[in-house]
Amino acid sequence: GTSEEVAPPVQQCFMVPKKEINVVSDMAKWKRSQAYADYMGFILTLNEGVRGKKLTCEYKVSEPIEKLVALLNTLDRWIDETPPVDQPSRFGNKAFRTWYAKLDQEAEKLVSTVIPKHLADAAPEVAVYLKESVGNSTRIDYGTGHEAAFAAFLCCLCKIGVLRVDDQMAIVFKVFNRYLEVMRKLQKTYRMEPAGSQGVWGLDDFQFLPFIWGSSQLIDHPSLEPRHFVDEKVVNENHKDFMFLECILFITEMKTGPFAEHSNQLWNISAVPSWSKVNQGLIRMYKAECLEKFPVIQHFKFGSLLPIQPVTS
């Protein structure tokens, strides 16, 4: 056999030179790609993994999970070290650019703290997704495309074997939940604009995935039904256990006026009879409104880990 055949499969992954990380230009090509299949597979696997489970339940926390939380804690600390600047416009505080420049500079080093030495070649490619996951430094905005980059970052860590099957609950409850806290702090501190927001017609200005995974957590709940999430008392009493309610709490803190007016889509969802129906509907909506919308996905990066090549199987 050739030397290629005996090379360890993981090393082969990273033979793609960095300049070949491409962005999507053709939606049909994207939907047929290995990247789309792997990304969606990852989202749905986690969706099953957290089904019926509370954020506060017991689950395994591996060393890579701890390291990812430490990475996110570093990003959080940098926000404290980079206060907003005085400027005439209310939104899009320019201090975000200073904060982002630090991440841009340190991203590979941060990723190297999570990836073992023998996989060090993967760090530059994986770091691209981390940098894409916090918002755009030119426009000072954040949206579901950035959120998708963070999910892709975690997906890549699974593909190279840093995260494993038994990390599923910790990926959502510990890492993704911490990511959401840091993003909410960024959004509040630097008054970031929602990227590609559909305003009142969108599900939420900034996030989508916690609604999917959060509704899965609530499937078969003995007392909480979809109609309850518009009840302030229910949200206040249960948000620490359920991602979905944590999102609702954040929306009500950030927005004024009747819920039905500022979050019409969510208001409509509260009329759906069961959480499993909500969950299925949100997955369909995520594909249609996020993954298949050019403005959202045009910045999605492809490389050796999430290839644009068509699915082979």
The phi-psi region of residue 232 (left if phi > 0; otherwise alpha if psi is between -120 and 50; otherwise beta) is: alpha
Both tokens assigned to 161: 């074997």
Rounded CA-CA distance 184/250 in Å is: 8
pLDDT value, residue 201: 67
Which residues, 6+ apart, have CB-to-CB distance to 189 below 8 Å? Answer: 79, 83, 84, 93, 95
The amino acid at 133: S
Taking the complete model, does pTM exceed 0.85, yes or no?
yes
Domain boundaries of the chain, sorted by first residue? 18-85+92-302
Domain 18-85+92-302, what fold?
Four Helix Bundle (Hemerythrin (Met), subunit A) (1.20.120)
Which residues, 6+ apart, have CB-to-CB distance to 148 below 8 Å? Answer: 39, 290, 291, 296, 297, 300
Both tokens assigned to 17: 């030179």
Mean pLDDT by 10 residues, the chain (313 residues): 39 41 76 95 98 97 98 98 95 97 98 96 96 96 95 97 97 98 97 78 90 98 97 97 97 92 94 98 94 86 93 79
